Amino acid sequence: MGFNQYTKLLQNHPKTNSFSTISSSSYHLNGGPSYMRGAVFWEPNKPMTFEDFEMPRPKVNEVLIKTKACGVCHSDLHVMKGELPFPSPCVVGHEITGEVVEHGPLTDTKTIERLPLGARVVGAFIMPCGNCFFCTKGQDDLCEAFFAYNRAKGTLYDGETRLFLRGSGKPVYMYSMGGLAEYSVVPANALAILPHTLPYAESAVIGCAVFTAYGAMAHAAQVRPGDAVAVIGVGGVGSSCLQIARAFGASEIIAVDIQDDKLEKAKIFGATHVVNARNEDAVSRIKEITGGMGVDTCVEALGNPKTFMQCVQSVRDGGKAVMIGLTLTGAKGEIDINHLVRRQIKVMGSYGGRARHDLPKLVKLAESGIFNLDAAVSRKCKFEEAGKAYEDLNKGSIIGRAVVEIM
């Protein structure tokens, strides 16, 4: 059964025809709902189904969020297609906004003051523990607990999931916070306050698409005013890279893709030049635009061996090639070693930003209008339409970012 059959099967599945109508205003610690609905991914090439869960409970320094919106990301799709190993059954979705409805027992008072009940919040997909070697050095994006527990085992940092099916009690694993559900448990370090001036739906993309782009531009590339930047692949994350590059004052911003509609929209995001790599040699065109030099930074947002090589070849001597696109496990990219050595090319990976420091900054960028959330989100859909959104993402028919509204 192919991935493009997801929607029909999802629509015909008996458990997709009814949704609970729990409102966050009716929730309180002792009298809130006892269950919720969530979208469950069971195994590759099988449709997600909507299931009832026991109400998840946060533990120390964790927060229960009434999920308002969740972005549709290629990282989820890689898991759903079996391209990235991850425990199943699981709930995907890692780009959320929502409302605080509960704090875990023994959560410290400073966290409760920062994230009070009723607060509007946005969550980052990298959820730092705050205590490991890297977190204590301020490198939240390398958090040991996140990779050892969440990405390796689908749990939070006590080694347990917070998701259990209603009735059977069967555990269901969490990709980040498992955002495609009516409620999500999130480590407090991964949350920032979302002001009332920003909408829930559009702001969901701050937690991954924008967060990933910021990590690449601010920490890996360290883009400076006047830099020349190229971005290969201008979907949800790549188009966010264009906006961040513009915000940082890049002078030449080159968007590379094979779809003209994505390239046209890239101009809205700040691209000064666009290159259709289906029609012309991307590396030669980038060199031509930059007077034969190449760019200071090239970002690869696809996770493809061919574009990996193009990225490295497109940077000037001493330039930076930054890889942010995930791909099949074990895929390899080739580099001309002599060129790397002689021309001092810097090749680096970047997975995301640093939640405790960067997430509040990104909220301010969006609030000030420097980052255009409305332009970044190209589609909003209902909770029950999540399967169709991932099918369309797989076909390449989503320009920008789709967001599932769970309100």
Give the integer Cα–Cα distance in Å for 187 and 155. Answer: 12
Q: How far is CA 140 from the centre of its chain?
A: 15
Identify the bridge partners of residue 163 per DSSP, sorted by sequence position.
Answer: 172
143 burial type by CB count under 10 A (0-12 exposed, 13-18 middle, 19+ buried): buried
Residues 114/89, Cβ–Cβ less than 8 Å: no
Which H helix or E strand runs over 79? helix 74-80
pLDDT digits (tens, 9 = 90+) for 120-145: 999 999 999 999 999 999 999 999 99
Give the integer Cα–Cα distance in Å for 239 and 262. Answer: 9
Place of tokens 């009735």: 167
Count CA within 13 A, CB hemisphere, residue 160.
9
Give the integer Cα–Cα distance in Å for 237 and 241. Answer: 6
Of 239, 218, 231, nearest in space to 353 by CA: 218
Residues 122/194, Cβ–Cβ less than 8 Å: yes
Q: Of residues 156 and 396, which shows the higher confidence score?
A: 156
Give the integer Cα–Cα distance in Å for 70 and 163. Answer: 17
pLDDT for 329: 83
Give the integer Cα–Cα distance in Å for 20 and 190. Answer: 27
pLDDT digits (tens, 9 = 90+) for 159-209: 999 999 999 999 999 999 999 999 999 999 999 999 999 999 999 999 999
* AA letter at 122: V
Q: Of residues 2 and 218, which shows the higher confidence score?
A: 218
255 φ, ψ (degrees, to nearest 5): -100, 130
Mean of the pLDDT values across residues 382-392? 94
Which H helix or E strand runs over 404? strand 401-405
Q: How far is CA 159 from the centre of its chain?
A: 23
- The answer, yes or no, to whether the previous bond of 89 is cis (omega within 30 of 0) is yes
pLDDT digits (tens, 9 = 90+) for 341-378: 999 999 999 999 999 999 999 999 999 999 999 989 99
Average pLDDT, the chain: 91
Whole-prediction pTM value? Answer: 0.88
pLDDT digits (tens, 9 = 90+) for 62-78: 999 999 999 999 999 99
Rounded (to 5) percent helix, strand, coil in the chain = 35, 25, 40
Which H helix or E strand runs over 305? helix 305-313
Residues 356/189, Cβ–Cβ less than 8 Å: yes
**Tokens in use for 323?**
């890889």
Number of other CB atoms surrounding residue 337 within 10 Å:
8
Mean of the pLDDT values across residues 155-160? 98
Mean of the pLDDT values across residues 146-171? 97
pLDDT for 400: 82
The answer on pLDDT for 26 being more than 70 is no
pLDDT digits (tens, 9 = 90+) for 303-312: 999 999 999 9
Residues 187/62, Cβ–Cβ less than 8 Å: yes
Mean of the pLDDT values across residues 259-278? 96
Q: Tell me the H-state helices in 83-175.
A: 109-114, 133-136, 144-145, 152-153
Checking DSSP bridges between strand 252-257 and strand 228-232, what pairing results, if any? parallel
Give the integer Cα–Cα distance in Å for 294 and 227. Answer: 11
Give the integer Cα–Cα distance in Å for 347 and 370. Answer: 29
The answer on pLDDT for 47 being more than 70 is yes
User: By three-state DSSP, how is residue 312 classified?
Assistant: helix
Q: Of residues 15 and 183, which shows the higher confidence score?
A: 183
pLDDT for 31: 62
